[in-house]
Structure 1
Amino acid sequence: MSAFYRTNSAIPEPEIPWSQDEQKLLMQGEILVKSGAHTKSGGAVTAWMYVPLVRSQVWQQLTDYPRWVQYFPDITKSEVLQRGEAKRLYQAAQKAFLFFTAQVEIYLNVVEIIGQQIQFRMEKGTFEDFRANLELKDCGNGTLVAYNVQATPNIPIPSIFIQQAMNFELPANMRKMRQVLCKGQ
């Protein structure tokens, strides 16, 4: 399935800015995407997907952070360093580009608003900055998941290339996430 892209210079909002036809496609399995610039060499993107599971089932699986290696194929390690109200995660990833392979790692502070939102904020890592929000909302008999990412890598790559990579990678990752979430349900 293809994704719909809307480019906007503003940071993507987590609300659904789609027409009724596009919302219908979302319910049929499309991943809808809105992207924009974040910094001179960063990108911001929000992707929406419908998951045919109740929100509590989706929440339970998404907060199983070591399982993120199954959702995002480039993530090689996802480890909870600190539990409790203030969670900390360590994630490592590897991404092949044209002539080289980039390896990144990030330490994240995680704030959970039970059943509704997960906020990821970079503590340190191989990014200039990184923020992500994952929001869950009831939608029909399932759950609408919005994943907003803003990132600036440490390597000097023009913003347009980062945005294009995010526009390509995030929908594919979201499809994989939905497949893993729904497996065995």
Structure 2
Amino acid sequence: MLSQALSASTDQPFAPNQQALLSGDVLISTRPHTLTGAAVTAQMYLPLVRSQIWTQLTDYSRWVHYFPDIVHSQVVEPVLEAKASSRRVTRRLYQVARKAFLLFSAQVEVHLQVVESMNQCIQFRLERGNFSDFAADLVLEDFQQGTLLTYSVRATPLIPAPSFLIQEAMRQDLPGNMRTMRQVLCQPSASS
């Protein structure tokens, strides 16, 4: 399935793209972010309700199955803060990823603050690591008979590289990663 462009100004898919989402496409939008960084937003449809997806997404050790470049993912501080009134939980997460790009390979480590809003969104914010900045938001919304998952990432690596190369790498990698995530999330044994 081909990735298709979506509007960078909205998280909701355009009406013509609804059919593409329902048929399994991953919609992608990239844009510059700082001189040497990039931002990408990906959307995909999951034929599951949000509560079925949420438990799996917040089991952060499973992220090694969603994103093949992530080789380690672990919660290092289970619950820093929990607000019952807003159903928000804050945790700390440590991840390691390995990536081969062009003629070099790199390993990156990040310590992230993760803020979860129950069955709605997960925000990942860089505390320290191999990026000068990194932020990601994963949003779940009811869509048709399932869920629209929107994943937005903004990152600037410490290794200097032109923004267009970072954008292209993200644009190439994220659709496959999102399809892998959908496959893992939709496995019968995982969603029951």
Partner-residue secondary structure (3-state), 1:83: strand
Distance 1:168 1:62 in 2: 22
Task: Judge which range, 135-144 or 68-77, deviates more.
Answer: 135-144
2:133 corresponds to which of 129, 135, 153: 129
- In structure 2, the residue matched to 1:83 is 78
- Please state how far the C-alpha of 1:25 moved relative to its aligned partner: 0.6
User: Which position in structure 2 is the counterpart of 1:70?
Assistant: 65
Query: How far did residue 27 of structure 1 move?
Result: 1.1
- Counterpart of 1:113 in structure 2 is 117
Mapped contact 1:75–1:94 kept (Cα < 8 A)? yes
Is 1:146 paired with 2:150? Answer: yes
Q: What is the alpha-carbon distance in structure 2 between the residues aligned to residue 50 and residue 159 of structure 1?
A: 29
CA contact (8 A) 1:72 1:177 kept: yes
Q: 1:99, CA displacement in angstroms?
A: 1.7
CA pair 43-100 structure 1, distance change in 2 beyond 3 A: same
- Equivalent of 2:11, from 12, 15, 19? 15
Residue identity matched to 2:2: S
Amino acid at match of 1:152: T
What CA RMSD, in Å, does the superposition of the two structures yield over aligned residues?
1.3
Q: Which residue of the other structure, out of 33, 37, 48, is the alignment partner of 2:43?
A: 48
- Matching residue of 1:2: 2
Contact 1:5/1:167, CA 8 A, preserved across alignment? no
> What do the CA deviations read for 1:19-46 (whole angstroms, capped 9, x no partner)?
x221111111000011111110000010
CA contact (8 A) 1:3 1:171 kept: yes
Instruction: State the percentage of identical aligned residues.
Output: 54
Q: Residue 49 of structure 1 aligns to a residue in which SS?
A: strand
TM-score, normalised with respect to structure 2:
0.90
> How far apart are 1:14 and its partner, in Å?
5.3
Report the number of matched residues: 180
Question: Residue 28 of structure 1 aligns with which residue?
Answer: 23
- Which consecutive residues of structure 1, in runs of 5 or more, have no partner in the other structure? none
In the TM superposition, what is the alpha-carbon distance from 1:98 to its structure 2 partner? Answer: 2.1
Q: Which runs of 5+ in 2 are unaligned?
A: 82-89
Q: Hey, what does 2:184 align to over in structure 1?
A: 180
Question: Which string of whole-angstrom CA distances, capped at 9 and with x for unpartnered residues, describes residues 145-182 of structure 1?
Answer: 00000000011110001011111111111000000000
Shift of 1:16: 1.9
Whole-Å separation in 1 of the counterparts to 2:20 and 2:52: 23
- Determine if contact 1:13/1:46 at 8 Å carries over to the other structure: no
